[in-house]
Amino acid sequence: MYKWIKIHSKRFLKQNLKIFLFLLIIAFITLGISEDNPPINNEIIKQDQSYNLADNIDDSINYEVIIGTFLGNKKRNYYGENAPSNLNLIWKIYLGKGKTTISRKIGDKEWEGAGWTGQPLLIKENDNFYLIQGAFDHHLKKINANTGEIIWQYKFDDVVKGTGTIWNNYKSVERNNRLIILQGSRLGVGKYIDSKHISSYRAISYFTGKELWRLDVKWTDSYSRDADGSALIINVLPS
């Protein structure tokens, strides 16, 4: 009886020693994560309202986002302040046309102009106004609202139907990345819903028209991999 108790006591101590050492290692790891070294994954970033912009940012251009998303705000209910008494043509431009793939059975079609959901965004730079407009010629365009001059064009892989959203990335140390356009397009000419990669959502610098990153739109239960939605930016303080 004594021998049986002795053997099981050793086994008990051996098993619990392993558990104790495991818990001790976890405790040291936990203590090593301090406020100075926070975990990277799932980190909650609190915006600092007292943040000062870096000295090397060129702030010679004063800008204001007038219309920064579809229908003007997060409630999608802004239609302007007052209707004008009359309308006069100041300028006009041709937005172009481009191919888009409907399906394997139907093939490609040619669309012209812009989508009904493709409303322009409006930004004020100093005393000038500029539009951001997607078109069926596969391009996102920055247009001088006073003259109709196209400042830059960014080419997608397909027609651009929806309205983008402008993110005021006010903490950026590079002026060119202070305003970022989040814009999607159809899935891509010659591509289908079961294609491996559909990079139809992009981030584009408002100031330069250059691509910053692109997102691969995954295949889900949805019948489409187009990126037509207008993003909402949450938990970010205004500039």
Percent of the chain with pLDDT over 90: 35
More confident residue, 35 or 81: 81
**pLDDT surpasses 50 at 15:** yes
User: Confidence class of residue 44 from pLDDT cuts 50, 70 and 90?
Assistant: very low
In the chain the first and final C-alpha atoms are separated, in Å, by 78
Mean pLDDT over residues 120-132, rounded?
Answer: 94
What tokens appear for 223 in the block?
Answer: 């019948």
Residues 96, 139 contacting (CB under 8 angstroms): yes
User: Confidence class of residue 151 from pLDDT cuts 50, 70 and 90?
Assistant: very high
How does pLDDT run across 21-37, given as a tens digit for each residue?
Answer: 445 444 444 444 333 33
Mean pLDDT over residues 164-172, rounded?
Answer: 89
Mean pLDDT over residues 78-99, rounded?
Answer: 89
User: Confidence class of residue 196 from pLDDT cuts 50, 70 and 90?
Assistant: confident
pLDDT given for residue 123 in this prediction: 95
**In order of start, what are the domains of the chain with their CATH numbers?**
63-75+95-215 (2.40.10.480)
More confident residue, 122 or 8: 122
More confident residue, 71 or 33: 71
pLDDT given for residue 94 in this prediction: 94
**Average pLDDT, rounded, for the chain:** 76
pLDDT given for residue 27 in this prediction: 46
Three-state SS sequence of the chain: CHHHHHHHHHHHHHHHHHHHHHHHHHHHHHHHCCCCCCCCCCCCCCCCCCCCCCCCCCCCCCEEEEECCHHHCCCCCCCCCCCCCCCCCCCCCCCCEEEEEEECCCEEEEEECCCCCCCCEEEEECCEEEEEEECCCCEEEEEECCCCCEEEEEECCCCCCCCCEEEECCCCCCHHHCEEEEEECCCCCCCCCCCCCCCCEEEEECCCCCEEEEECCCCCCCCCCCCCCCCCCCCCCCC
Residues 92, 148 contacting (CB under 8 angstroms): yes
